[in-house]
Every structure is written in structure tokens, then in C-alpha cells.
Amino acid sequence: MRLKIDITGLVQGVGFRPFVFKLAEELGLRGYVLNNATGVLVEVEGEERKLYDFLVRLDRDRPDISRIFSLRHAFLEESGFSGFEIRESTDKGDKRVFILPDISACEECLKDVTEPRDRRFLYPFTNCTNCGPRFTIIERLPYDRKNTSMKNFSMCPACKKEYHMESDRRFHAQPVACGACGPWLSLYDREGQVLCEKEEALEKAVNLIRKGYIIAAKGIGGYHLICDATSEDTVRRLRQRKHREEKPLAVMFPDLDAIRREMNITPMEERALTSIERPVVIVRKKTSASLAASVSPGYRNAGVFLPYTPMHYLILRKFKRPVVATSANISDDPIVADEADAFARLSGTADYFLTHNRRIIRRCDDSVVRIAAGRQVPVRRSRGFVPMPVTVPFKFSTPVLALGAYMNSTIALGIDDRVFISQHIGDLDTPLAMEFYDRAVEDFLGLFRVRPGVVVSDMHPGYYSTKYGQRRFHDRLFKVQHHYAHILSCMAENGITGDTRVIGFAFDGTGYAPDGTIWGGEVLTASYSGFKRVFHLSPYRLPGGDRAVREPCRSALSLLYETLGDGAAETDVLPLARDERLFLINMIRKDINSPVTTSMGRLFDGIASITGLRHRVSYHAQAAAELEQLALGSGEKGSYPFGIEKGNIVHTPMVRMILDDLKAETPQEDIARKFHNTIVEIIVSTAESVRKETGISHAALSGGVFQNTILMEDAFNALRQRGFVPLVHQLVPPNDGGIALGQAVFAAVHLNTAQSSLP
């Protein structure tokens, strides 16, 4: 196993390389460390357990004066280093394109705000050269104060002195500020009356949280809705007002010890929680957790994180209990990021507004990750990670703009050998989301000062992103198939090079395919030059199309119809009256608004409904997520039968056995677990069959379905056991938030091919 770590920061000339060398020697790891244009690159190889140690200790024990702004790491296939060496520095990499992400508050700044004698005592916008906002305050490059939203605040003499003193921690820190000269907090009521300001506002806000009120608090990349996470009443009220009845809410804890008391966390999860990016980490709740049940109803997991600005830190330190801190938006609209918007859109949700007068130049939601199979898998890659690039194993001969898909959308820019992926934009189905999308594209092009030579979109003619591409870039627009783009993104971030072929498992809810059906349970053989569909779920119909996405019982009925034919009308496992069943079966049979699909996501939905777990959903992939939660409670090792016929993965034998299990009153969680085990077996057996035929041994797992930890971990381990090299996502999400990377890669490769074939 190889671990590749790409660090951006002040890590040169501070004894960092000797430290890395010693650590690698001590753990018996092979590889190298080298200085590059923006920091250091480290690759180490050895036993997996030792690599985890290395990663954890690299963060924990590094020289005090070294500063890390971003640390991207991925576990990759071994490449055969001998010994450990400090390599010659390279200047490789474009320094011009260098915008830092928002960096969580450093220890020293947190010390400043808690030291009563310090002039920044309780000042919530304290930052220094090593920490503070970047991406969200930059208007344009170069990164100078006059080009940031700090330009309206002129430094007081004391701040100016620090700014100009080379020995100071705030030497040339662009957002440097203090209570005398910088931004300040104001607390408003719902009518827009200012109640108090500065320290008083913070103090009062905490008191209001304690009393059970919901506060809209302006942070780095937008507003959060904050409330007491231990009060069932309060959290329930938040859900009602936010129209978010069931989706889990993120919880911010005062410190790591508080998280340890309530959650079962592994060393890798602990590392993720305290990492410079400070993402929300999805971890396992203890049964004794004091969180209100409504925080993540029905879930064994919860998304938790630590304060990452002095403001959040001061609130939590005073409150001493966990708070819900969820992106302030209504339903699927983008996160609220300015005052006018906050009062207009949140006055029905928040009781009070804790705002400040530093403008947010670009929105940026919190990032979300989970640890699965020992890998940090992004669920949402945004604040802290953006706009750091993913390095790919080839070069863009012209800048490429990738437009993403539709759900969880992001866009990407390919420049040189890097892909810069935007912050989370969201689902493109409200006018506000589309407006944010337009702005994000313009913003990225402006920020990186490029004109794209090639633009890539999904093939779906109905996606806003595709239409946008056609409208704006029709003269240079390429389209790439959705599931192929998923697999390409997984290949690229895993450093696959040349004409290596992989078996691609692209499992998701929906994707447009050239044959007019909806794909989503696809096994491809793929290389950078093209792909072939070798297996897929056997097709079934979705009565009502999009309505079937919201109503898993429709997928369920269709699966029953495939299995039992007209007999499906007589089964009573679904909460549908007999004439409803007949009506839907009629739609399926006569092909009335019932598109054909091979979607794995809908199969999960359908099984969740057949087992009686959920028939209608209030958020995307809810049924599948709940099925996973249920399966976590079972140790069942068995699985269901399935068939493989002429490229079809036949699910009817499985459905039949599930019906038998239901009749035999097999516990629901055991059925859920057996279903998961079956999908793992499908992966392994189709992989075996492809390998026999082609000799391919790399297996890439991509698509939103692989956010399912059981499925991802079990498939990963099973594939490995049989001698495959499983490739999983570690730098971009497996869901459609990662698809722009694959699209960009498609353009890079096909452009290069075109170039090399020129005389």
C-alpha cells in the first residue's frame, strides 16, 4: 500500500523534511519527500497499519513552526520504492494559480481570544498568516487586502504594526483585524431591530441558544442555523421551520473530548475531525449520546464537527454543549450568505440573527466526509478543501471547463495537470440554485483568469448544466456519458495512467444513456480512451418517472411485477390499495410514463419499500440510507440468489426470496443486511467474470450508491481478498459532486489524443 500526501503550507526550511524522513524510518516505510512550488509532496509505502500511524503522526508531531494550509492524502496501489529518500526539490506546478482555502483557526489565535490580557480577547474575527478565511473573502487576485472583503476596514496602528513586522505571526496577513479596527458582530431580532453589538452580541446569542431559540449565525461561507442539540423540542422546531423533516443535521461540539464522550471514533476519524479542513465527519453514535433524537432520527450515525472560526469557538466554549449547526437554507436552495437574503429568506426559520459586516464574496458550505475501508471518502467537498486542486496524471493542453451534472453539482477547471473543483453548488432545480451555478462558473473563470478552450457537460438534455453549456459554449461543447464520467473521476484521482483498463462499477440513482433508458446499475470496462457496458441490472420500469424517485413503493411494485407478473397485484406487502396496484401495473405494462431503468439506487429504494421500511421519501436517497442504517444492526452473513444472463444481473430470484423471508418473519435488519451482502456478491462475481474474459484486475467503485459504507467496505474487502485492486474515492465524492473531475479528464485525454495524432 502507498500513501500519497500533498501538503500546501509553510513547510520549507523549518525542519519538515528531516522530520518526515525520521518518521518514515522509524515506521519502516519506503518512499520519498520533496519540496515543490507550494509545499511538500510525500509518498510512503509499507504496511497499511503503519501508513495510518504515519498520517496521524505527521499531523500531530510535525515541527511547531511548520504550517499546513491543506493536506490532501490518498491511499494508492504500491509502486515499489526502495528505501526512503529526500528528493531534489522541484519547481513544478504553477504558482500563479494559488488561492488558499479557508483555514480553520490556529491554536495561537484561539489562545489570543481566550486570554483576558490579550488585545484580541473575545474578538471573533481573529486570524493570522496561518489561519483564517481566504477563498470566501477574495474578490480577485493578487491576494492583497484591497482585493478582499477586508478592504472596507482600515487597520488600526496596532494591527498595522503587526502587519509590517517580519517577526510577527501576522506579518502580511491580509485579513488581520482586531476589535478596534475589524469587522464586528451584531445581534438582530426577526424584525431587523439591532439588539446589541460586539462582545455583548455574542454573549446574548449564547443565552438565547440556551433558552431554546434558533439563531441564524453568519460564519465563513454562509449562515448556519444554530440551536441547542440536546433539546428535543428545539431541534424539532428547527426541523418544522426548515421544512427538513428527517434529513440528519450536523452537530458542532465544543471540543474533541466532548465528541469522544458521545461518539465512537477511530483514530482516522479523530484525524479527520481535527484536520485543518475541519469537515463534518459522519461517525457512530454511542447509545448513551445526549443528542436530541431528532438530530438524526433513525440513524446510528451522526455528522459531527469542531469549531473552525474563533466565533464558533467562543460560542461553543461558552455554551459548553453541542449545537446543531446546519447550513441556513430552505429546502434545496443554496446557503444564505448575505444580510438581505438572511432577513428575507430566514425570518420564518430563525428567531434571532447573529451577523457581521465582513462580506462573504463567495458562498461555501461545510464539507462532509466519512471514513470507510480506512479511506477518507468525501460526501461533500467544499469549505476547507476548495479551491485546492486534484492533480491528474496528464496535462491539459488548453484550459477545460467541466460543467458537472445536476445533483450536488460542482464545476471544475482543468489547467496544466490539475483540476480545480468548485465548492458545492447543490441540486440545480430552483431558480436560486441556477443563479448560484451561473455565478460559480463566471467566478471560477474570473478567479483563475482563463478562457476555456473546451467545455464538457453531461449528456442529459434536461440538466440545467447541459443547457447552460449549450447556451454559453455551444461552439466548443463536448458531452460525456454520466457513468463513464464517474469511473473516469475515480481512475484519475487514483493515479491510473496510460491505457490501463478497469472494471468500473457505476452505481447510482439516475444517469442519461445513449439508448434512451435510465442507467444506474452499470458494470463497465473502461480506460481513458473509452468504455464498454458489460453488465447491468436487468431493466425494470419506473411507473410515474420522477415520482418513483419520491415514492420508493413505485419501484417496489415494479420489482414485484418483474418477479411475480400479474400476481404482483395480489401481494399486500406495500401500503397500496389493490386498485392502486392495478393502476401502476397497467402503467408499466402499457408503457405509460414508465421509463425503463437499470438503476441501482432505485433497486435500494424498492427493497427498502418491500421490506416495509419506507415507501415515500422526504430527501434524496433517504430510503437507501435508512436501509443501510438498518443493515448496520445485523450480523447476518447470508445472501440472496441472483442470476447473470447475457449481461443482465437478474434480481428476481432475490426479490422472491425476500418475500419468503418476510413471510417467515425474518427480522427486517437481517433482510436489509442480506440484501447488502447480495450486492457485494454481484460485484465480486461480475468482476471475476470480466477478469476471466479480459485479464483486468483493477475495479473502480463510483456513483452515489457507494456512499453506503457497508457496501463500499464489504465490496472493497471482498475484491481485495480475491486479488483485485479496488479503487475508491478519496479526493472527490463518489456522488455527482465528483463527476466534474471525470468530465475534465475526458476532455484532457481526448484533446491529447487529438494532438498526438497530428503530423
Among Fe ion, Zn ion, none, the one that 181 touches (CB under a kind-dependent 5 to 8 A) is Zn ion
Among Zn ion, Fe ion, none, the one that 577 touches (CB under a kind-dependent 5 to 8 A) is none
User: Measured at the alpha carbon of residue 611, what is the angle toward residues 606 and 617, in degrees to the nearest 5?
Assistant: 50
Nearest Cα neighbor of 507 from 742, 704, 728 is 704
- Closest contact distance (angstroms) between CB of 630 and Fe ion is 24
Among Zn ion, Fe ion, none, the one that 128 touches (CB under a kind-dependent 5 to 8 A) is Zn ion
The interface mask with Zn ion, positions 80-109, x = CB under 5 A, is --------------------------x--x
159 contacts Zn ion (rule: CB under 5 A):
yes
Q: Which is nearer to Zn ion, 130 or 391 (CB)?
A: 130
Containing 33, the helix (H) or strand (E) segment is strand 30-35
What grid cell was written down for 107?
491554536
Among Zn ion, Fe ion, none, the one that 156 touches (CB under a kind-dependent 5 to 8 A) is Zn ion
Q: Which is nearer to Fe ion, 182 or 521 (CB)?
A: 521
Q: Which is nearer to Zn ion, 109 or 705 (CB)?
A: 109
Among Zn ion, Fe ion, none, the one that 508 touches (CB under a kind-dependent 5 to 8 A) is Fe ion
- Closest contact distance (angstroms) between CB of 316 and Zn ion is 18
Burial class (CB in 10 A: 0-12, 13-18, 19+), 320: exposed
Phi, psi of 194 (to 5 degrees): -75, 130
- Closest contact distance (angstroms) between CB of 259 and Zn ion is 22
Phi, psi of 114 (to 5 degrees): -110, 5
- Closest contact distance (angstroms) between CB of 743 and Fe ion is 12
- Closest contact distance (angstroms) between CB of 464 and Fe ion is 15
Residue 373 CA: distances (Å) to CA of 21, 412, 591, 604: 27, 27, 42, 21
In order, the DSSP letters of 434-487 are HHHHHHHHHHHHHHTT---SEEEEES-TT-HHHHHHHHHHGGGEEEE-HHHHHH
492 contacts Zn ion (rule: CB under 5 A):
no
458 contacts Fe ion (rule: CB under 5 A):
no
Among Zn ion, Fe ion, none, the one that 623 touches (CB under a kind-dependent 5 to 8 A) is none
Q: Which is nearer to Fe ion, 363 or 483 (CB)?
A: 483
Among Fe ion, Zn ion, none, the one that 159 touches (CB under a kind-dependent 5 to 8 A) is Zn ion
- Candidates 45-53, 185-193, 205-213, 508-516: pick the segment binding Fe ion (CB under 5 A): 508-516
Strand pairing report for 400-402 and 454-458: parallel
What grid cell was written down for 523?
458494470
- Candidates 66-74, 178-186, 349-357, 449-457: pick the segment binding Zn ion (CB under 5 A): 178-186
What grid cell was written down for 217?
449565525
- Closest contact distance (angstroms) between CB of 408 and Fe ion is 9
Three-class SS of residue 106? coil
Sign of the dihedral through C-alpha 238, 241, 246, 247: negative
User: Measured at the alpha carbon of residue 380, what is the angle toward residues 97 and 512, in degrees to the nearest 5?
Assistant: 95
Burial class (CB in 10 A: 0-12, 13-18, 19+), 381: buried
508 contacts Fe ion (rule: CB under 5 A):
yes
Among Zn ion, Fe ion, none, the one that 180 touches (CB under a kind-dependent 5 to 8 A) is Zn ion
- Candidates 60-68, 180-188, 400-408, 687-695: pick the segment binding Zn ion (CB under 5 A): 180-188
- Closest contact distance (angstroms) between CB of 703 and Fe ion is 5
- Closest contact distance (angstroms) between CB of 178 and Zn ion is 3
Q: How far apart are CA 214 and CA 233, in angstroms?
A: 11
Among Zn ion, Fe ion, none, the one that 351 touches (CB under a kind-dependent 5 to 8 A) is none
Total site size for Zn ion, rule CB under 5 A: 10
Phi, psi of 244 (to 5 degrees): -125, 85
Q: Which is nearer to Fe ion, 265 or 739 (CB)?
A: 739
- Candidates 152-160, 443-451, 554-562, 603-611: pick the segment binding Zn ion (CB under 5 A): 152-160
Among Fe ion, Zn ion, none, the one that 178 touches (CB under a kind-dependent 5 to 8 A) is Zn ion
Contact 576, 584 (CB under 8 A): yes
Q: How far apart are CA 558 and CA 555, in angstroms?
A: 5
Q: Using the structure block, give the residue that is written with the C-alpha cell 440513524.
A: 299
Q: Which is nearer to Fe ion, 508 or 626 (CB)?
A: 508
Q: Which is nearer to Zn ion, 131 or 400 (CB)?
A: 131
Contact 649, 538 (CB under 8 A): yes
- Closest contact distance (angstroms) between CB of 364 and Zn ion is 19
- Candidates 174-182, 383-391, 445-453, 643-651: pick the segment binding Zn ion (CB under 5 A): 174-182
Q: Which amino acid is at 570?
A: E
- Rg (C-alpha) for the chain, rounded Å, is 26
128 contacts Zn ion (rule: CB under 5 A):
yes
Q: Which is nearer to Fe ion, 508 or 661 (CB)?
A: 508
- Closest contact distance (angstroms) between CB of 77 and Fe ion is 25
Among Fe ion, Zn ion, none, the one that 736 touches (CB under a kind-dependent 5 to 8 A) is Fe ion
Contact 241, 360 (CB under 8 A): no
The residue at minimum Cβ distance from Fe ion is 508
Q: Which is nearer to Zn ion, 110 or 433 (CB)?
A: 110
Strand pairing report for 389-391 and 418-421: antiparallel
- Closest contact distance (angstroms) between CB of 56 and Zn ion is 23
Out of 27, 56, 141, 156, the residue judged to bind Zn ion by CB under 5 A: 156
220 contacts Zn ion (rule: CB under 5 A):
no
Q: Which is nearer to Fe ion, 45 or 508 (CB)?
A: 508
131 contacts Zn ion (rule: CB under 5 A):
yes
Per DSSP, what are the bridge partners of residue 197?
186
Who contacts 599 (Cβ-Cβ below 8 Å, separation ≥6)?
Answer: 508, 509, 510, 518, 519, 520, 521, 537, 542
In order, the DSSP letters of 255-307 are SHHHHHHHEE--HHHHHHHHSTT--EEEEEEPTT--S-GGGSTT-SEEEEE--
Residue 161 CA: distances (Å) to CA of 169, 177, 436, 749: 11, 11, 39, 51
Q: How far apart are CA 307 and CA 290, in angstroms?
A: 19
Phi, psi of 563 (to 5 degrees): -85, -45
Which parts of 717-746 interact with Fe ion (CB under 5 A)? 736
- Candidates 44-52, 393-401, 506-514, 657-665: pick the segment binding Fe ion (CB under 5 A): 506-514
Interacting residues toward Fe ion by CB under 5 A: 508, 736
Interacting residues toward Zn ion by CB under 5 A: 106, 109, 128, 130-131, 156, 159, 178, 180-181
